[in-house]
Amino acid sequence: MSVDAIKAVVRRFNEEVIAKGDRAAFEALIDPDFVNRSAPPGAPNGPESMWNTFANVLRPALANLSVTIHDQIAEGDKVTTRKTITGIHNGTLMGIEATGRTVAIDVIDVIRISNGRYAEHWGLNTLATVLAQLKS
């Protein structure tokens, strides 16, 4: 796949899966052997763990969830994306009751694409900082 094509896969995943919660798009864009290299030690790291993060953690807690992609750099079969996930904290987020506040989670992730699908993920984000701010 071309660099533009693999960047498009990542953009589509962010728009359709993360922002819209589209399960069919998730199934089309995730490799059955996907591995989340950033999963905590001992935690599930396959496709369903990635779906769970969006469908059962972020989306129920954040109204008007959106993803803004700031930068994308691609080389070979990998795409690095700097983005911000935003929403209104209107549901319980990792044990923190709704505050009504706007949250912004900054993310940098690297995705390896294989056959047009997410095969591996590495990432860093500011979710811990956001959670600490919501508690204060």
Task: Give the pLDDT of residue 41.
Answer: 86
Task: Give the pLDDT of residue 48.
Answer: 92
Taking the chain (136 residues) in runs of 10, the rounded mean pLDDT of each run is 96 97 97 94 89 92 97 98 98 96 98 98 96 93
Question: Which 3 state secondary structure label does DSSP give 13?
Answer: helix
121 bridge partner residues: 36, 111
Residues of the domain holding 113 = 3-135
17, 26 Cβ separation under 8 angstroms: yes
Q: How far apart are CA 111 and CA 79, in angstroms?
A: 5
- Does this model's pTM top 0.75? My answer is yes
**Token pair in block for residue 98:** 């709704």
Report the CATH number that the domain containing residue 123 is assigned in CATH.
3.10.450.50
Task: Give the pLDDT of residue 79.
Answer: 98
Count CB atoms within 10 A of the CB of residue 105. Answer: 19
Q: How many domains does the chain have?
A: 1
Task: Give the pLDDT of residue 44.
Answer: 87
